[in-house]
Amino acid sequence: MDEPVIVISHIRARQGYEAIVQDLLAKMVEPTQAEEGCIAFTLHQSRSDPRLFMLFQVWASEEQLERHGATAHSAGFRRVAPTVLDGPIGRTLWKKVR
């Protein structure tokens, strides 16, 4: 059995696009949470930098995480990302050790 995969993504909105990025990301939460293998998918905004967002995700396996990347809502966000984001999405994968 695969071990869960924890994903932390950092997303920076372009200046003036904070509300648009927040709305686009918020629209991904419900459909993603309904996906098979999604244990957690939550959206957060920095207290000190309103342009910075963080997605905290837990997936049952890497395979299910990869399937998430192929969904229509993920692909839709990636399509508009270059116009609303200030740089690429930073993403790190984690595993629970205790």
Predicted confidence (pLDDT) per residue in 44-73, tens digit: 999 999 999 999 999 999 999 999 999 999
Mean pLDDT, the chain, as a whole number?
Answer: 96
Residue 77 covered by a domain: yes
Strands (E), the chain: 5-12, 38-45, 52-59, 90-94
Domain count, the chain: 1
Residue 8 covered by a domain: no
Residue 32 covered by a domain: yes
Residue 44 CA to residue 28 CA, distance in Å, equals: 13
Residue 70 covered by a domain: yes
Residue 4 covered by a domain: no
Residue 5 covered by a domain: no
Residue 60: the pLDDT is 97
CATH code of 68's domain: 3.30.70.100
HSE of 97, CA atoms in CB hemisphere, 13 A = 2
pTM: 0.93
Q: What is the extent of the structural domain holding 77?
A: 14-94
Residue 1 covered by a domain: no
Q: Over 70: is that where the pLDDT of 10 sits?
A: yes
Q: Over 90: is that where the pLDDT of 1 sits?
A: no
Residue 92: the pLDDT is 98
